[in-house]
Chain A
Amino acid sequence: MTRSPGDSGDRILLAHGAGGSLMHRLIRELLLKYLDSPELAPLDDAAELRIEGDRLAFSTDSFVVKPLFFPGGDIGSLAVSGTVNDLLMKGARPAYLSLGLVLEEGLPIADLARILESIQRTSQAAEVSVVTGDTKVVPRGEADGVFINTAGIGSILPETNVGGSNARPGDAVIVSGGIGEHGIAVMTERNGLKLGGDIASDAAPLNRVVLPILERFGGAVHVLRDPTRGGVAASLNEIADASHVEIALEESAVPVREQVNAVCELLGFDPLYVPCEGRFLAVVDGAVADGVVELLRAELDCPLATRIGEVSPSDAGLVQLHTTSGGRRILDMPAGELLPRIC
């Protein structure tokens, strides 16, 4: 086997699924080569479709999390909130879901029932219905318990126009709560790390938080992103790149729970790269930013919601971190495989 230096090889690596720069290259250089369409091109969390005058959002997501059950959630709740949140991030009210199950021979029926019960409960909370589905079984060893795919559809709220390329100079960046809790909960559960202090996943559908913001602030909300794989760092880099702006992030303002910080320090992670499954980033007109934070904190049960960054003009598409120490540095796209099978 010979390889030129710097070549990432001729096979798929775990890093291709990590939400970082290798995954983005795979999408741009291979997937889009064969599957280009104007709806796919923006690479937002959901596609915007226009059918007979209606604006619909359509999204799909697959779930391979290991372990299947973790503090604060399981693969079922994740499969519903993941797709529901992707629709919300396009400014849509989620309505219907499909559910595809790939089951491994030997999976206890009781585990499947527990997952389905969780899907039911999360769907009710998200006010969506599962309306079509599919079930496949593969021989033992050819999957790992359960893999789930969900797709969802919803109607985009009138007066809203959110998308990754809509951030403008003068906008502010808001995060809805503490970051990194999902990644750390799954990670510590998977590795049996006994670290004291319970960190539960933040996985949850965001409809009751996002829809009121869209209803009240409508067109002033420019970008919504749930910082899943690659965390806040990947999401902000995607936004800066797609919108051709610079984002300045104030490190000391980013809410991170103490236990998350402690585990990150132990394992050498930066919380800004650790996935959330029940938080979102909003890039909004600077004039309404404090109002959005106030609404989140006072009425929508997001006590840690904070304004964490500002958008300024620049073609560079970079994210600058203003560190707690008073220094400045780049906040880069993640590289490599940070946490495989986290969602």
Chain B
Amino acid sequence: MRTLEKLREPGLLRTLTRRLRSLKVSSPVTLMEVCGTHTMAIHRAGLPSVFPPNLHVLSGPGCPVCVTPTEYLDRAMAMAREYGVMLTTFGDMMRVPGSSGNLTFLRGEGYPVEVVYSPLGALDLAREHQEQQVVFLAVGFETTAPTVAATVKYAREQQLRNFSILCAHKLIPPALEVLLADPEINVDGFILPGHVSVILGSEPYRFIAEKHHRACVITGFEPADVAQGILMLVEQLRSGEPRVEIQYRRGVRPEGNARALKFVDELFEPADATWRGFGLIPKSGLVLREAFSEFDAAERFPVEIEPQPEPAGCLCGEVVRGKVAPPECGLFARACTPDTPVGPCMVSSEGACAAFYRYSPQSRTSKGGSDDD
């Protein structure tokens, strides 16, 4: 806790934000963060209000809920309706619209849907309700994969035959590769995710600096971390020598967490995966290996799912690629609000649209709010 206390010391914070505010950025600089926790940290701390006018920070594909396709939710809801399974999920998935309603509606119709804080919570439910099939909606990036792997392993050790996972786990580096190959995307540097990198280390990002010549800083999640990460990125851009730096030194080692990586590798293998906004990205998802396929809910409860177009007018796909800012979407703050979300970027508390809507005075054009400081 000592480090955290230091990082939260208002004096230090204000020094860093003063440095940000007075940063001289001669030509426009665009940075992208690729982690929902960063999206939230930046907006919750009100950092955009202290950025110099030439500095822009976009949100990339860092919110797992936001890049999960509609079909995934449709599949989960069909399993509940056709097989009567209990769905267990992190709270963020509850209001993501499928093509026919969302999980809160499903619960309102009387189907069992439970919010858990960890996959182990889902396992507890399976143990308590042995007569009930329990499916955990495994949505996340490299950070959550080791816990899900551990949970599946426990399920096997405890011979829980009523537990399975519907896996939509995704990997960040392949998505960044696709993003960087798009000539329309104009990003000078990346605020790389601290939590994901605790597992991955810094090595998997080297191609960003070496092949694509973009600045990279692996950054922590305290407002002071983010402010420092941005200052380091601007400095790196000035030096003209792109590389992968680690700001989040208290959590990340260059080689990552070998044990967690081995654990994930034991249970999962990379597979092609569909990302909302990107489409199919080769080897960008995780599926259970053959030896653990008995825990794959998609195999245990086969359902027919029609492919669905994205909701009309929804630009979530463009938002997660950093091509448009949330207010540029015609639905933003009109048809699409946190209470009545159309796309996943407005649902997830970590989504770029939700963060922008909740925290940015400019988002309330109808109310005419402005920030003149």
Which residues in A have some Cβ–Cβ distance to B below 8 Å?
A: 1-3, 5-9, 11-15, 20-22, 25, 191, 252, 267-268, 270, 315-318, 320-330, 332, 335-337
Q: What are the interface flags for B119-158 relative to A under an 8 Å C-beta threshold, 1 for contact and 0 otherwise?
A: 0000000000000000000000000000000000000000
**Are B17 and A325 in contact, with the CB atoms below 8 A?**
yes
Cβ of B52 within 8 Å of any chain A Cβ, yes or no, is no
**Are A326 and B13 in contact, with the CB atoms below 8 A?**
yes
**Are B104 and A14 in contact, with the CB atoms below 8 A?**
yes
A325-B16, A327-B17 known, 13 other contacts, Cβ within 8 Å: A5-B311, A5-B331, A11-B109, A12-B108, A21-B337, A325-B13, A325-B47, A325-B227, A326-B46, A327-B223, A329-B44, A329-B46, A330-B363
Which residues in B have some Cβ–Cβ distance to A below 8 Å?
A: 8, 10, 13-14, 16-18, 43-50, 94-95, 97, 100-101, 104-105, 107-109, 117, 223-224, 227, 311-314, 331, 335-342, 349, 357-361, 363-364, 367-369, 371, 373
**Cα–Cα, bound, A15→B100 (Å):** 19
Sorted nearest first, the 10 A-B pairs with minimum C-beta distance are A327-B46, A335-B338, A329-B46, A6-B340, A329-B359, A5-B342, A326-B17, A323-B46, A325-B45, A325-B223
**Cα–Cα, bound, A327→B50 (Å):** 6
Q: A6-B335, A13-B105 are in contact. Are A323 and B45 (CB under 8 A)?
A: yes
Which residue of A is nearest B373, CB measured? A328
**Are B100 and A2 in contact, with the CB atoms below 8 A?**
yes
**Cα–Cα, bound, A10→B30 (Å):** 43
**Are B108 and A11 in contact, with the CB atoms below 8 A?**
yes
Question: Which B residues are CB-close (under 8 A) to A324?
Answer: 8, 10, 13, 45, 223
**Are B50 and A326 in contact, with the CB atoms below 8 A?**
yes
Instruction: Select one of B47, B340, B363 contacting A7, CB under 8 A.
Output: B340
Question: Which B residues are CB-close (under 8 A) to A318?
Answer: 361, 364, 367, 369
How many whole Å from B212's CB to the nearest CB in chain A?
Answer: 31
Instruction: Select one of A14, A267, A332 contacting B358, CB under 8 A.
Output: A332
**Are B369 and A330 in contact, with the CB atoms below 8 A?**
yes
How many whole Å from B164's CB to the nearest CB in chain A?
Answer: 23
- The total of Cβ contacts below 8 Å across the A-B interface reads 132
Instruction: Select one of B117, B336, B338 contacting A267, CB under 8 A.
Output: B117
Which residue of B18, B336, B369 has the most chain A CB atoms within 10 A of its CB atom?
B369
Which residue of B is nearest A323, CB measured? B46
21 contacts between A and B (CB under 8 A): A3-B101, A5-B331, A5-B335, A6-B337, A11-B109, A14-B107, A15-B104, A316-B364, A321-B46, A324-B10, A325-B46, A325-B227, A326-B17, A326-B50, A328-B46, A328-B361, A328-B371, A328-B373, A330-B360, A330-B369, A337-B94
**Cα–Cα, bound, A22→B97 (Å):** 17
Question: Which A residues are CB-close (under 8 A) to B100?
Answer: 1-3
Question: Which B residues are CB-close (under 8 A) to A322?
Answer: 46
Question: Which A residues are CB-close (under 8 A) to B227?
Answer: 325
**Cα–Cα, bound, A316→B366 (Å):** 9
How many whole Å from A264's CB to the nearest CB in chain B?
Answer: 12
**Cα–Cα, bound, A19→B343 (Å):** 23
**Cα–Cα, bound, A330→B355 (Å):** 10
**Are B314 and A22 in contact, with the CB atoms below 8 A?**
no
How many whole Å from A338's CB to the nearest CB in chain B?
Answer: 9
How many whole Å from A302's CB to the nearest CB in chain B?
Answer: 24
Question: Which A residues are CB-close (under 8 A) to B107?
Answer: 14
**Cα–Cα, bound, A25→B338 (Å):** 13
**Cα–Cα, bound, A320→B363 (Å):** 13
Which residue of A is nearest B47, CB measured? A327
Which residue of B is nearest A25, CB measured? B339
**Cα–Cα, bound, A318→B335 (Å):** 20
Which residue of B is nearest A266, CB measured? B117
Which residue of A is nearest B370, CB measured? A316
Instruction: Select one of A5, A321, A335 contacting B97, CB under 8 A.
Output: A5
**Cα–Cα, bound, A321→B104 (Å):** 31
**Cα–Cα, bound, A12→B108 (Å):** 7
Question: Which B residues are CB-close (under 8 A) to A326?
Answer: 13-14, 17-18, 46, 50
Question: Which B residues are CB-close (under 8 A) to A252?
Answer: 10
Q: A317-B367, A325-B13, A327-B48 are in contact. Are A9 and B105 (CB under 8 A)?
A: yes
**Cα–Cα, bound, A323→B44 (Å):** 8
Q: A318-B361, A329-B44 are in contact. Are A6 and B104 (CB under 8 A)?
A: no
**Cα–Cα, bound, A8→B224 (Å):** 38
**Cα–Cα, bound, A268→B45 (Å):** 15
**Cα–Cα, bound, A329→B370 (Å):** 10
Question: Which A residues are CB-close (under 8 A) to B313?
Answer: 5
Which residue of A is nearest B92, CB measured? A268
**Cα–Cα, bound, A25→B95 (Å):** 18
**Cα–Cα, bound, A12→B104 (Å):** 10
**Cα–Cα, bound, A2→B97 (Å):** 12
How many whole Å from A17's CB to the nearest CB in chain B?
Answer: 12
**Are A329 and B361 in contact, with the CB atoms below 8 A?**
yes
How many whole Å from A318's CB to the nearest CB in chain B?
Answer: 5
**Are B108 and A13 in contact, with the CB atoms below 8 A?**
yes
How many whole Å from B276's CB to the nearest CB in chain A?
Answer: 15
Which residue of A is nearest B42, CB measured? A327
Instruction: Select one of B8, B10, B105, B367 contacting A11, CB under 8 A.
Output: B105
How many whole Å from A301's CB to the nearest CB in chain B?
Answer: 28
**Are B50 and A1 in contact, with the CB atoms below 8 A?**
no
Question: Which A residues are CB-close (under 8 A) to B312?
Answer: 5
Question: Which A residues are CB-close (under 8 A) to B363?
Answer: 330
Question: Which A residues are CB-close (under 8 A) to B50?
Answer: 325-327
Question: Which B residues are CB-close (under 8 A) to A325?
Answer: 13-14, 16-17, 45-47, 50, 223-224, 227
**Cα–Cα, bound, A321→B47 (Å):** 12
